[in-house]
Structure 1
Amino acid sequence: MKRSSRRDDAGDATSAGSPAGASARREYDRRRAQREDHARARFPRIGGLLLALNEEPTSTRVWDQGAKGEEAVGAVLDGIADVLVLHDRRLNGGSRANIDHLVVAASGVWVVDTKTHKGDLEVRRLGGVFRPREDRLLINGRDRTSLIEGLQRQVETVQRALITAQLDVPVHGALCFVGTTLPWTDKAIDGIPLIGRRGLRKAVQRRGDLDAAARASVAALLDSRFPPA
């Protein structure tokens, strides 16, 4: 496995492979190096000074921000006993998207998507008498409901992989926010919790029927079906 974390009988955490956020970190390093090479090639004498005086573009910084978020969530997941964790996994079908964290716990499989949007999170209910009611996810006043839809597609992909392997295992989705101001009370949309790291720890530690042997089998399957990104 690229990154599978567990605890041995003595309770010590063991893990192997690349850390959470590895692909985002690689992309940030690539973009940063490309920017530096361009500046030094165009301005051989003052390229270093220009780089020091000017901030990195947002299109580069978001990769660093995302990698740090995934690393922070990964550290929490890696510290939880009795779960197996696969970080930074590639989706099937040629998609450029990846699954940030796959957690195999007693309660089933958790597909965790880490987000680092800044601002206040709000769940707003729209509709009423003449139109169906629907919940919308807003962060800093902007509609981010597409985050829910993207995670739902990931959950469905993992469900299909398990069904194809004739494994009857519950699959849950969770959006975990780092650096976002969350409401005091827990929020969810379409059954997907909108939580921070503390809430994620609590969620994946729910009781369930998946014993240690079953968790190992499921993790091995997911490791083969969703290779490292």
Structure 2
Amino acid sequence: MDRRQLRSIVADLTDRRATVLDDVELPSCRTDVDHVVVAPNGVWIVDVMACTGSVELREVGGFFRTEHRLHVDGRDRTTALDTLVWQRAAVDELLGRELPTAAGTPVHTALVLLDGDRDVPDAPLQVDDHRVCSRSDLGELVAGPGPLSVDAVAAIVEVLRAEQGGRDAIDLTDRARPVVGADAVRALLG
């Protein structure tokens, strides 16, 4: 997903009460986090995967132990979700260490599938505690209400910006912008 597309979706659907950071480096993380969105309903760790075929959730295992596996284009892509697990742990650890008042902040994960929106069910798939969704579904998820005030969002963003040296963060917050209703959001998505 193009960074501008993600920012546009998030800005429009959160009434500009969110911030998007790209390529966030965390000390206890093996790879950069593609996108982090800090919104009133929490922190969203977003990874993007291109797909051209079907998307399905399969149950595998035996009688006593079953697990859910994500299959995209006929291949098992569950490892993409495993990456989100340790990225979320790194964000939790950073917030707990650098901003104790943010302890317990909801940290969500989402895998956005591109060019495969037609194969993703209307509601995002839930695999364990990860969301697998289209770009428009991501906007809806991020736009949900939540416990974070504008000041709390700003404090969390500052902690994340400090970790990445302040580079490539776009603050979408704008307290003066009027609230956009659900009908206007649907119109934006076409």
Q: TM-score, normalised by structure 1?
A: 0.64
Give the alignment partner of residue 67 of structure 2, picking from 115, 134, 158. Answer: 134
Cα distance in structure 2, aligned partners of 1:124 and 1:218? 36
Partner residue in 2 for 1:154: 87
CA contact (8 A) 1:109 1:170 kept: yes
Partner residue in 2 for 1:172: 108
Identity of aligned residues (%): 29
CA contact (8 A) 1:70 1:114 kept: no
Letter in 2 for 1:144: R
In our comparison, the structure showing a higher alpha carbon Rg is 1
Partner residue in 2 for 1:90: 25
What secondary structure is seen at the aligned counterpart in 1 of 2:54? strand
Cα distance in structure 2, aligned partners of 1:212 and 1:94? 27
Cα distance in structure 1, aligned partners of 2:97 and 2:29? 19
Give the alignment partner of residue 37 of structure 2, picking from 103, 117, 123. Answer: 103
Question: Post-superposition shift, 1:211?
Answer: 0.5
**Match status 1:220 vs 2:158:** yes
Query: Mean alpha-carbon deviation: is it higher for 102-111 or for 175-184?
Result: 175-184
Cα distance in structure 1, aligned partners of 2:120 and 2:3? 18
CA contact (8 A) 1:124 1:138 kept: yes
CA contact (8 A) 1:69 1:114 kept: no
Question: Post-superposition shift, 1:208?
Answer: 1.1
CA contact (8 A) 2:60 2:68 kept: yes
CA contact (8 A) 2:24 2:160 kept: no
**Which consecutive unaligned segments of at least 5 residues does structure 1 have?**
1-67
Question: Post-superposition shift, 1:114?
Answer: 1.4
RMSD: 2.0
**Which consecutive unaligned segments of at least 5 residues does structure 2 have?**
169-190
Partner residue in 2 for 1:124: 58
Cα distance in structure 2, aligned partners of 1:208 and 1:153? 23
**What does the per-residue CA deviation read over 1:96-121, in whole Å, with 9 as the maximum and x for residues that have no partner?**
x2211111111111111111132111
CA contact (8 A) 1:87 1:101 kept: yes
**Match status 1:77 vs 2:10:** yes
CA contact (8 A) 1:73 1:114 kept: no
Cα distance in structure 2, aligned partners of 1:151 and 1:70? 19
Give the alignment partner of residue 205 of structure 1, picking from 122, 143, 164. Answer: 143
What secondary structure is seen at the aligned counterpart in 1 of 2:132? strand
What secondary structure is seen at the aligned counterpart in 2 of 1:157? helix
Cα distance in structure 1, aligned partners of 2:128 and 2:29? 27
What secondary structure is seen at the aligned counterpart in 2 of 1:160? helix
Letter in 1 for 2:145: R
CA contact (8 A) 1:110 1:173 kept: yes
Q: TM-score, normalised by structure 2?
A: 0.76
**What does the per-residue CA deviation read over 1:51-72, in whole Å, with 9 as the maximum and x for residues that have no partner?**
xxxxxxxxxxxxxxxxx55553
